[in-house]
Amino acid sequence: METVNLNTNLISTEKEMREQLQERFMARTSLLDETDKTYIDLGDTERTLGQGYYRLGKIYYDKADLNNAEEYFLRALDKTVYPRDGFAMLKIYGFLIRIYSESLQETEAGRYIAFAEELVEKFGGDLGSLGSEYFYNVGMVFTYKGDFEKALEHFKLSYQKAQTENEPELIAKALFSISNASYHLERYTEALNHLDQLKQLLNILKKGYLKGSMHMLYGNIYKDVARYEEATENFDLAITLLQQKNCWNLFGYILLGKGIVLKKMGEFNQALTLFKLGQNSINSDYWRLRELFSTQVEDVNDSSVDLYLDRHNRVIHEKSLGTIDFKHRFVLLEILFLLARSPGESFNKDDLARSIWKDEYNPLIHDKLIYTSISRLRKLIEPKGASRKYILRGKDGYTFNPRVNARFHKEDDSSSRKIIGNIEISSPV
């Protein structure tokens, strides 16, 4: 089967992208149908049949078909027996929680979180010794509940146990989970340190899905700490690796992350292209993700916005001039934000001296400084050949024109990783 290249730099049109996705999905679905018949026709035992349903659920989940994934995970769950299948039950609960959370069925998600919590409590009393997998699953339950501090504590215990038990795969899972929890706690250095350890281990283990998820997490961390080139590189690596494993369920979140990076860089047109591509590529039952894309599209696609101000990244996007870099113009940026935050309000020289230079107004010092700064600011943001549009001068001082439409960049783009239905969705099971 021909490989579909999802690197957005190589996709000529959104239509082509959708056609390629549809072709791949249809091919995968035909294989699934045959697989399903095989499991049923062989007349296997109940446990084997349950394992087959689980595999089918995982395939559908990977290809982002949540409705069919839910059906087969529920069938698999029906074939489980405690305590024999305890850990398998927890895996299935995890997938169902994610499915219900992604489709915004919060009541159902909460119900299975409670089931998972009850099950790990049973484990604590029933297991003779508590190994790495037990602590890992307890950590996952705390992740489902949004308690990343306790999740991190148990993931670290899982890591220690896995080292003692010499279980490389469990070590890898624990390292990823430690990094993910640290990321949500905004402990970025700790998250990166554990990801670096995981990267070395995965060079030996060759776990493509986990490696793809690792690069996605790298991308999200670098996005949040404004290392945008590294963020983009890792998002692209994640797309390539997950595509090779036929894992499509995280594709939308990667596009969302890449789009946010572009928005933070002031590349609003490119960001909008990715956000719309994401909207058109994901399945309709991804309600949560669709809402996230819609929010981002609305944020960068309002044609009525004259001036888009991003203080965090020190860029301004003017409707006709495009993106203006303020990274080395700190004073000018501060003046602009002071005025724009209070449109129609006048700021005299005394106000500017105290607010911008943190000093009492002195005409010998500040008159020329204020005049020069305002003049430079106007040259940067005022459309060429037009009358003054943004910064007006009146008898009481300088004013930001209240008639223009200015929008301030949402300085917290963490919405892409906020929990809904008490589960962090964008991480792998």
pLDDT for 32-85, tens place per residue?
444 444 344 444 578 888 899 999 999 999 889 999 999 999 999 999 988 888
What number is the average pLDDT over the span 229-235? 96
Q: Where are the domains of the chain?
A: 8-303, 307-404
Residue-wise pLDDT for 118-161, tens only, equals 998 888 777 656 789 889 989 999 998 889 999 999 999 999 99
Residue 80 region by backbone torsions, left for phi larger than 0, else alpha for psi between -120 and 50, else beta: beta
Other beta carbons less than 10 A from residue 289's beta carbon: 25
Q: pTM above the 0.75 mark?
A: no
Confidence at 29, pLDDT banded by 50, 70, 90: very low
Would you say how long the chain is, in residues?
Answer: 429
Section 388-412 average pLDDT:
86
C-alpha dist (Å) from residue 218 to 238, 243, 381: 9, 17, 35
Show the DSSP H helices in 8-144 as ranges: 14-41, 46-62, 66-78, 86-102, 106-126, 132-144
Task: Check whether 202 has a pLDDT greater than 60.
Answer: yes
Tell me which H or E stretch contains 363.
helix 363-381
> What is the Cα–Cα distance from 36 to 219, expressed in whole angstroms?
36
CA distance 255 to 279: 10
Q: Which residues pair with 391 in a beta bridge?
A: 400
Same fold, 8-303 and 307-404: no
Angstrom distance (rounded) from CA 258 to CA 249: 16
Average pLDDT over residues 411-415: 48
Return the bridge partners of 347, or none. Answer: 398
State the Cα–Cα distance between residues 388 and 174, nearest whole angstrom.
Answer: 58
The CATH classification of domain 307-404, taken from the options 3.40.50.80, 1.10.3720.10, 3.40.50.720, 1.10.10.10: 1.10.10.10
pLDDT over threshold 60, residue 217? yes
Q: pLDDT higher for 320 or 159?
A: 159
User: Does domain 8-303 fall into CATH 3.40.50.300?
Assistant: no
Give yes or no for residue 198 having a pLDDT over 70.
Answer: yes
Among residues 182, 186, 257, 225, which one has the least CA distance to residue 196? 182
Contact 404, 356 (CB under 8 A): no
Strands 397-400 and 391-394: antiparallel
Task: Check residue 44 and give its pLDDT.
Answer: 53
Is the pLDDT confidence value at 370 over 50? Answer: yes
Spatial separation of the C-alpha atoms in residues 347 and 224, rounded to whole Å = 34
Who has greater pLDDT, 197 or 317? 197
Closest by CA to 284, choosing from 103, 118, 408, 145, is: 103
- Residue 256 predicted with pLDDT over 70: yes
φ/ψ of residue 308, rounded to 5: -110, 120
